[in-house]
Amino acid sequence: MQVIVAEDISKKYIIDHQKAMRKSSTLRDTFSEKFKHFFGKGEQDEVEKEEFWALRDVNFAVDQGDRVGIIGHNGAGKSTLLKILSKITEPTGGKVTIKGRVASLLEVGTGFHPELTGRENIFLNGAILGMKRHEIKSAFESIVEFAGVEKFLDTPVKRYSSGMYVRLGFAISAHLSPEILIIDEVLAVGDADFQKKCLGKMRDVSESGRTILFVSHNLAAVQSLCNRAFYFEHGRLKMQGDTTHVVNNYLSHVAKTNLEHFWETPEEAPGSDEVRFRTVRIDPEYQGGKHYIDVTTPARVHIEFWNMAERADLNLSLHLYAFTGECIFNVGTTSQSFEKGLVAATLEIPGNFLNDGSYVISIMVVKDTSTVLFQLPDALAFEVEDHREGVTWYGKWPGYVRPQLNFQISQSEVLV
Amino acid sequence: MAYLNEVVIEAGHGAKNYWKDLWKNRELLWILARRDLSVRYKQTAIGAAWAVLRPLATMAVMVFVFEMVGKFEGDAGVPYPLMVLAGITIWTFFANTFTQISHSILLNSNLVTKTYFPRLIMPLSSVLVGFIDFAVSLGLYFIIALWKNHLPGLEIIFLPLFVLLALLTSLSFGLFFSVLNVRFRDIAQLIPFLVQIGFYACPIAYSASLVEASQDAWWYDLYYLNPMVSIINGFKWSLLGDGSFFKVSSLYSTVGVISVMLLISIYYFRKEENSFVDYI
């Protein structure tokens, strides 16, 4: 039985470039606008209104018991879709038919009031999520136990640690009993232990035959939990089908992003009077038919630059940053004397070294091991996807590096 | 799975089960109201005593300025401080609920962007806080009336009618402003100003009988177009007795203004509520 049928749904936003109507319009703006038009002074091209289609002609059907993972870049329309399905906003065009009670979990602890106690917030949040009072009452004990906040039930939640706050929020929503559950990226928060709990709970829900729609950037979780996947790009449903197939397709698109820069002549290249960059490139050694960088993929960084001075002692320094800004490592070449002309360098980054995540490389040319001649800050950007083998845990793997170190385990004594 | 209710989502839809949905969500209405209430005086030293202090202090100032300095007088046989307190009580009720309703959508923006329920629940639930303050203030009135030996007569049976009318007035204007407030933050600046003007434009610190002297003035009809004028007069009359000035016929225009405004506001609210999230 089809429980969700979407026919040609679209959602349009108007972006007003000149006055940003959408967010911060004031009465005065509107009046003066009207006023100008009234006297024919309003120049039509003065306000540049741009239509932005967050979703465009999306069609799909979800069967009862389907567990659908929704993937795509930020701004691809995933959240807009969830908002439409949750009735938070209405589509500009098209129609969705939903059979069954829907619970949406777009945020953990929606409507929690910081001044209220844990106990009060359980009832508040439950009611906001659409639970009846008696339902909350009967689930109360179990919610408190799941969240592990027994001791702090009568403490205002503003005194909670962020971990407790999130646990309580999730515990409440985990006790919803809808026929269709819509979840947006809840796993992005909380520690590994908590994420494990969440995934376990979601698996329980899915095994009880309910329908789940799940937006996540955690592809490992999507693959473990979902039997189908939707891949959104620029507001369109680009691909749907079997999870593994869709995820692989998505990954091979992601990987092509910002892996190479090339400048034909020194005139157009970034640099200073002394050095100009010609090439910065990362060459992954894809393995096993994959077309994306994952945790196991080795990669080479190639750099080539023009040395414009007659003779100079130069070395390269390369920083690798996590997307969050922390520097993961900094490596430098030895300093050598170079004639005027092209200089090339290669760095090997082994497989099984970087953890999954987004990384940015910056490159510096240094003279006499002390003076920075030029720095190319965001020379390259790439993403490392997750890869799991022989592990049944799908939470976010902690850490910036994921080396395979020699770590042995054995039975040292048998107790009889 | 047994019976599954079917929901259709499309542009301009949603009207079908709206009022039923609203009724189904009445528990949420109550819980949001309780939230506003219990949060109200958290982390204050004297707590709910503020509900007594504020009207009392306002009355004291009014009595000082208008009775002692300005030599104003109430209607014959009506103690001036009691008249002021009655006026303040109903006006504060109106002003509080009106302000709360106007801000209700913005204050709950975290809910608007993350979850669905009939949006009318937010303005409706914000009414309760005003009611509690009103009850406290009314209690205070009775204590002072007892002390002044001027307890209400039979007219008091009409009191609930005027309270209801004040509530409808605040709802009819508040709903309208709450929608505008989502798009134009100017409204948040405007509201305290409106309330302040209203305090002097309405017969709170003075008796409306003074206005009768200007029956031929151009503004006389305009004055009564303000629905709060006759509501305040009626409220005072039901507490203070027949001596207090009240023109019953002025209720016609009041009811008319409220009904028209309420219809417009509900229509406007329903029309805009599905796009709140896009503008908030």
Q: State the residue for tokens 């049944």.
A: A392
B1 contacts on A by Cβ (under 8 Å)? 64, 100, 179, 209
Q: Does residue A259 sit at the B interface (CB-CB below 8 Å)?
A: no
Give the model's confidence band at A218: pLDDT under 50 very low, under 70 low, under 90 confident, else very high.
confident
Averaged pLDDT for residues A403-408:
92
Residues 154 to 213 of A: which have CB under 8 A from any B CB?
A: 156, 179, 209
Averaged pLDDT for residues A57-79:
87
d(CA A349, CA A384): 12
pLDDT given at position B198: 93
d(CA A247, CA A214): 14
d(CA A206, CA A228): 13
Rounded (5°) CA angle B156-B162-B163? 100
pLDDT given at position A16: 64
pLDDT given at position A323: 66
d(CA A232, CA A79): 11
Query: Tokens standing for B244?
Result: 């207090």
Rounded (5°) CA angle A375-A376-A377? 100
Number of residue pairs across A and B with CB atoms under 8 Å?
A: 118
Residue B31 has its nearest CB partner, among A25, A28, A123, at: A123
Q: Which long-range contacts (CB under 8 A, 24 or more apart) does A189-194 make?
A: A189/A108, A190/A108, A190/A163, A190/A166, A191/A163, A192/A395, A192/A396, A192/A398, A194/A163, A194/A166, A194/A167, A194/A170
Q: Which long-range contacts (CB under 8 A, 24 or more apart) does A398-403 make?
A: A398/A192, A398/A355, A399/A355, A400/A322, A400/A326, A400/A328, A400/A354, A400/A355, A400/A357, A401/A328, A401/A353, A401/A354, A401/A355, A402/A295, A402/A352, A402/A353, A402/A354, A402/A355, A402/A356, A403/A352, A403/A353
The complex scores an ipTM of: 0.80
B184 contacts on A by Cβ (under 8 Å)? 25-27, 30
Half-sphere exposure of B177 (CA within 13 A, CB side): 23
d(CA A172, CA A168): 6
pLDDT given at position A380: 86
A104 contacts on B by Cβ (under 8 Å)? 115-116
Q: Which of A149, A144, A100 lies closest to A126 in space, CA to CA? A: A144
d(CA B131, CA B108): 20
pLDDT given at position A44: 47
pLDDT of A217 strictly over 90: no
Across the beta sheet with A102-105, what order do the strands follow? A102-105, A180-184, A211-215, A67-72, A228-233, A236-242
d(CA B99, CA A90): 28
Structural contact between residues A343 and A307, judged by C-beta atoms closer than 8 angstroms: yes
For residue A124, what is the nearest residue in chain B, using CA coordinates?
B31
d(CA A215, CA A249): 17
pLDDT tens, A87-137?
Answer: 888 888 888 998 888 888 887 788 888 888 999 999 999 888 888 888 899
Percent of chain A with pLDDT over 90: 27
A7 contacts on B by Cβ (under 8 Å)? none
Domains of chain A (ranges; CATH) run 2-10+60-253 (3.40.50.300), 260-384 (2.70.50.60)
pLDDT given at position A364: 92
A127: exposed, middle or buried (Cβ count in 10 Å: 0-12, 13-18, 19+): buried
pLDDT tens, A293-351?
Answer: 889 999 999 999 999 988 999 999 999 987 666 789 999 999 999 999 999 999 999 99
- Please judge whether A91 and B31 are an interchain contact, meaning their C-beta atoms are less than 8 angstroms apart: no
Q: State the residue for tokens 């409440």.
A: A172
B42 contacts on A by Cβ (under 8 Å)? 115, 156
Whole-number Cα distances in Å, B113 to A405, B59, B180: 46, 42, 17
List Cβ neighbours of B246 (8 Å cut-off, separation of 6 or more): B208, B230, B233, B234, B236, B237
Q: State the residue for tokens 């939230």.
A: B35
pLDDT given at position B232: 94
Give the model's confidence band at A43: pLDDT under 50 very low, under 70 low, under 90 confident, else very high.
very low
* Pairing mode of beta strands A211-215, A67-72: parallel
Residue B61 host element (H or E): helix B50-62
Query: Tokens standing for A179?
Result: 């026929």
Collect the ranges in chain B with pLDDT lower than 70. 1-4, 12-16
Give the model's confidence band at A50: pLDDT under 50 very low, under 70 low, under 90 confident, else very high.
confident
Please tell me the least confidently modeled range out of A70-79, A266-275, A313-322, B104-113: A70-79
pLDDT given at position B73: 75
Q: Hey, what's the torsion of the CAs at A43, A44, A46, A48, to 10 degrees?
A: 180
pLDDT given at position B238: 93
Residue A276 host element (H or E): strand A275-284
pLDDT given at position A24: 45
pLDDT of A22 strictly over 50: no
pLDDT given at position A381: 83
Structural contact between residues B265 and B176, judged by C-beta atoms closer than 8 angstroms: yes
List Cβ neighbours of B130 (8 Å cut-off, separation of 6 or more): B93, B96, B97, B100, B170
Q: Does residue A119 sit at the B interface (CB-CB below 8 Å)?
A: no
pLDDT given at position A20: 42
Give the model's confidence band at A21: pLDDT under 50 very low, under 70 low, under 90 confident, else very high.
very low
B113 contacts on A by Cβ (under 8 Å)? 88
B200: exposed, middle or buried (Cβ count in 10 Å: 0-12, 13-18, 19+): exposed
Whole-number Cα distances in Å, B28 to A86, B32, B35, B116, B124: 17, 6, 10, 12, 11
List Cβ neighbours of A29 (8 Å cut-off, separation of 6 or more): A19, A21
pLDDT given at position A188: 55
DSSP string, B126-195: THHHHHHHHHHHHHHHHHHHHHTT----GGGGGHHHHHHHHHHHHHHHHHHHHHHHHH-THHHHHHHHHH
Separation in Å, CA of A96 to nearest CA in chain B: 5
Give the model's confidence band at A37: pLDDT under 50 very low, under 70 low, under 90 confident, else very high.
low
d(CA A238, CA A233): 6
For residue B7, what is the nearest residue in chain A, using CA coordinates?
A98
Q: Which of A339, A293, A331 lies closest to A312 in space, CA to CA? A: A339
pLDDT given at position A228: 92
For residue A89, what is the nearest residue in chain B, using CA coordinates?
B274
